[in-house]
Amino acid sequence: MRSAIQLNNGRDMPVLGLGVARMAEGAETEQSVLWALEAGYRLIDTAKIYGNEASVGRAVRKSGIAREEIFVTTKLWPSEFFRVRAAVQKSLDKLGLSYIDLYLIHWPVPLVRSHIWKDFEKIYAVGLVRSIGVSNYSVKQLAALAAADIPPAVNQVLFHPFSYKKELLDYCKSKNIAVEAYSPLTKGGKLNDPVVAEIAGKYAKAPAQIMIRWSLQHGLIPIPKSSNKKRIFENTEVFDFHIENDDMRVLDNLS
C-alpha cells in the first residue's frame, strides 16, 4: 500500500487510491475517506463536480496522518475553464488545505485547451498544486500538449479489463505520463463476469481484487470507489499475488 510511482516531475504518487465520485457530501464521504486512510490508502481522488471536497478535507485533517503523507487529487470542471486560479482557490478553501497534490483538467474542450494549460502551468509555478495533469484525454489530445513547458504528469481515464485502451497506455508510457484508472471495477457491472470469476477462483481472490491487480500489473494507478468498509479494506489485498501472463492476456481480451 505504500508503493508509489514517480511522476515526470519527480513527485511520488501512490499506486492505489480511493475514488469518491457519486459519494454524498457529509458523513458518507468523510467516513469512507477515514476508513481508507485507516486501511493504508494514501491517495484520495475527488473533484469539484463531485461536491464533496469539503468532506475529503475534513477526513484528511481528522485522520491525524501528516499532510505530506496524503496525496489529494481534485479537478477543474469545464464551467470554470476561464478562471483557473479562482477555481483552484475555491477547491483549496473547500478542502481546507494549503496545496493540492494533483490538479486535473476534468474534461477536454479543444477550443480552449492550450489556454487552460498555460493557466495550469501558472498555478503549478506558484505552488498551489504539486502536479498537474488531465482526465479523459485521447492520444490526439495529449499530443496537442507535447510542446508544453510542463507536460501533464497524469492522464486519468476510464480503464478496466472491459475497456483496455492499449494504444493510449502505450503512448502515455512513451511520454512518461502516468495513467490513472477510474472505475477500475466497472462500477460493479462486470464483477459477476464468468471469465473474471474463473480467474478469481484460481487465485483465491475476489473478482474486484483481480481487476485491481490487473490494473497494477499494467502500471496503472487504480482508484476504486467504495463507501463500504469491508470492501475498502478488501481492495487493498492485492499485493500478495501475481496474475500469470496467460491470465493477463485473457483479461486484456475482454474489451
CATH, residue 188 = 3.20.20.100
Radius of gyration (Cα) for the chain, nearest Å? 18
Query: Could you tell me the residue range of the domain that residue 52 belongs to?
Result: 4-252
Please report the pLDDT score of residue 2 as a whole number: 87
Separation between Cα atoms, residue 177 and residue 155, nearest integer Å: 7
The single residue of 41, 50, 103, 124 carrying the catalytic annotation is 50
How many domains would you assign to the chain? 1
Separation between Cα atoms, residue 13 and residue 101, nearest integer Å: 9
Q: Which three cell numbers stand for residue 215?
A: 490494473
- Tell me the per-residue pLDDT of 8-30, one tens digit each, with 9 for 90 and over: 999 999 999 999 999 999 999 99
Separation between Cα atoms, residue 236 and residue 221, nearest integer Å: 13
Is residue 50 part of the annotated active site? The answer reads yes
- Tell me the per-residue pLDDT of 196-254, one tens digit each, with 9 for 90 and over: 999 999 999 999 999 999 999 999 999 999 999 999 999 999 999 999 999 999 999 99
Which residues are CB-contacts of 157 (< 8 A; sequence separation ≥ 6)? 135, 136, 137, 165, 168, 179, 180, 181, 182
Beta bridge partners of 100: 129
**Global pTM?**
0.96
Please report the pLDDT score of residue 114 as a whole number: 63
- Tell me the per-residue pLDDT of 205-218, one tens digit each, with 9 for 90 and over: 999 999 999 999 99
